[in-house]
């Protein structure tokens, strides 16, 4: 797992935008972060909130978020395994970003139709 994903060689002013985007892309990252804003969740709790995500994908995304320092993974040594995921400080600092995404999505939900109607 080369953790490469999208080289960000260029660093024009837009670089910061790109850099942030890298952390929350990946089909599930954004939503995972969003749900974790509510608090700590276990693996299957997250999974239930994300209808139609495979364990493989969920695991992958969680691992990436973890190695990006956005979430923390706490494993309890139990017979029925229990793993909790929570946001780190760095992760929590993304809240305004996630909120902005959520807010926009709520307002401008759906396709680009309303634009043409409004125009």
Task: Give CA–CA dist 34/14, Å, rounded.
Answer: 24
- In the shown chain, the binding pattern of residues 98 to 117 toward a copy of itself, with x for contact by CB under 8 A and - for none, equals xxxxxxxxxxxx-xx--xx-
Q: Which stretch binds a copy of itself (CB under 8 A): 54-62, 63-71, 78-86?
A: 63-71
**Binding of DNA at residue 49 (CB under 7 A)?**
no
As a dihedral over the C-alpha atoms of residue 6, residue 17, residue 21, residue 109, rounded to 10 degrees, the angle is -140
Give the long-range contacts of residues 8-17, CB within 8 A, separation 24 or more.
Answer: none
Residue 38: phi and psi, rounded to 5, are -75, -25
* Structure tokens that stand for 25 in this block: 């892309």
In the bound state with a copy of itself, the residue whose beta carbon lies nearer, of 75 and 107, is 107
As a dihedral over the C-alpha atoms of residue 40, residue 59, residue 75, residue 38, rounded to 10 degrees, the angle is 0
**Partner touching 74 among a copy of itself, DNA, none, CB below 5 to 8 Å by kind:** none
Binding site for a copy of itself (CB under 8 A): 6, 9-10, 12-21, 24-25, 27, 30-31, 34-35, 49-52, 67-70, 88-90, 93-94, 96-109, 111-112, 115-116, 118-119
Binding site for DNA (CB under 7 A): 2, 4-6, 25-27, 42-45, 53-57, 59, 62-63, 73, 75, 80-83
């Amino acid at each position: 797992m080369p953790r490469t994903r999208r080289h960000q060689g260029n660093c024009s002013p837009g670089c910061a935008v790109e850099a942030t985007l890298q952390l929350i892309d990946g089909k599930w990252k954004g939503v995972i972060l969003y749900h974790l804003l509510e608090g700590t969740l276990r693996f299957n709790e997250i999974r239930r909130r994300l209808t139609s995500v495979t364990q493989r994908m969920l695991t992958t995304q969680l691992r990436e978020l973890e190695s990006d320092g956005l979430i923390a993974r706490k494993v309890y040594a139990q017979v029925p395994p229990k793993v909790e995921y929570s946001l780190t400080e760095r992760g929590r600092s993304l809240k305004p970003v996630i909120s902005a995404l959520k807010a926009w999505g709520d307002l401008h939900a759906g396709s680009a139709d309303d634009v043409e109607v409004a125009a």
